[in-house]
A and B are shown apart, each in its own frame.
Chain A
Amino acid sequence: MSKGLPETRTDAAMSELVPEPRPKPAVPMKPVSINTNLLGYIGIDTIIEQMRKKTMKTGFDFNIMVVGQSGLGKSTLVNTLFKSQVSRKASSWNREEKIPKTVEIKAIGHVIEEGGVKMKLTVIDTPGFGDQINNENCWEPIEKYINEQYEKFLKEEVNIARKKRIPDTRVHCCLYFISPTGHSLRPLDLEFMKHLSKVVNIIPVIAKADTMTLEEKSEFKQRVRKELEVHGIEFYPQKEFDEDLEDKTENDKIRQESMPFAVVGSDKEYQVNGKRVLGRKTPWGIIEVENLHHCEFALLRDFVIRTHLQDLKEVTHNIHYETYRAKRLNDNGGLPPVSVDTEGSHDSNP
Chain B
Amino acid sequence: MDKEYVGFAALPNQLHRKSIKKGFDFTLMVAGESGLGKSTLINSLFLTNLYEDRQLPEASARLTQTLTIERRGVEIEEGGIKVKLTLVDTPGFGDSVDCSDCWLPVVRFIEEQFEQYLRDESGLNRKNIQDSRVHCCLYFISPFGRGLRPLDVAFLRAVHEKVNIIPVIGKADALMPRETQALKQKIRDQLKEEEINIYQFPDCDSDEDEDFKRQDAEMKESIPFAVVGSCEVVRDKGTRPVRGRRYSWGTVEVENPHHCDFLNLRRMLVQTHLQDLKEVTHDLLYEGYRARCLQSLARPGARDRASRSKLSRRSTTEIPLPMLPLAETEKLIREKDEELRRMQEMLEKMQAQVQQSQAQGEQSAAL
Binding site for B on A (CB under 8 A): 69-73, 90-91, 93, 97, 99, 131-136, 179-191, 207-208, 210-211, 213-214, 223, 227, 230-231, 280-288, 293-294
Contact = CB atoms under 8 A, between A and B. Distances in A.
13 contacts: A70-B145, A181-B34, A187-B59, A191-B97, A208-B174, A210-B174, A210-B249, A211-B173, A231-B60, A283-B258, A284-B173, A284-B249, A285-B249
A284 B252 contact: yes
Central interface residue in B63, B149, B246, by most chain A CB within 10 Å? B149
A71 B186 contact: no
B128 interface: no
Contacts, number: 129
A214 B245 CA distance: 10
Central interface residue in B182, B185, B247, by most chain A CB within 10 Å? B247
Interface of B is mostly: loop
B34 A134 contact: no
Interface in B69-113: 95-100
Central interface residue in A73, A210, A282, by most chain B CB within 10 Å? A282
Contact of A179 (B35, B185, B248, B258): B35
Contact of A281 (B100, B176, B185, B245): B176
Contacts of A287: 247, 249
B247 A285 contact: yes
A198 to B, nearest CB: 18
Interface of B: 33-36, 56-60, 62-63, 95-100, 142-146, 149-151, 154, 171, 173-174, 176-177, 182-183, 185-186, 245-253, 256, 258-259
A230 B61 CA distance: 12
A283 B256 CA distance: 10
A54 to B, nearest CB: 44
A70 B146 contact: yes
A136 B35 contact: no
Nearest to A188: B97
Nearest to A185: B59
B98 A135 contact: yes
B174 A184 contact: no
B60 A190 contact: yes
Contacts of A288: 249
Which 9 pairs show the lowest CB-CB distances between chains A and B? A181-B35, A285-B250, A285-B249, A284-B250, A211-B174, A185-B59, A93-B182, A71-B145, A187-B63
Contacts of B57: 184
Contacts of A97: 146
A294 B248 contact: yes
A71 B173 contact: no
Nearest to B40: A182
A186 B59 contact: yes
A244 B99 CA distance: 45
B110 to A, nearest CB: 20
Given A134-B99, A183-B56, A190 B145 contact: no
Contacts of A72: 144
A154 B283 CA distance: 70
Given A72-B144, A293-B248, A93 B185 contact: yes
Nearest to B37: A182
Contacts of A90: 146
Contact of A136 (B98, B146, B246, B252): B98
A207 B144 contact: yes
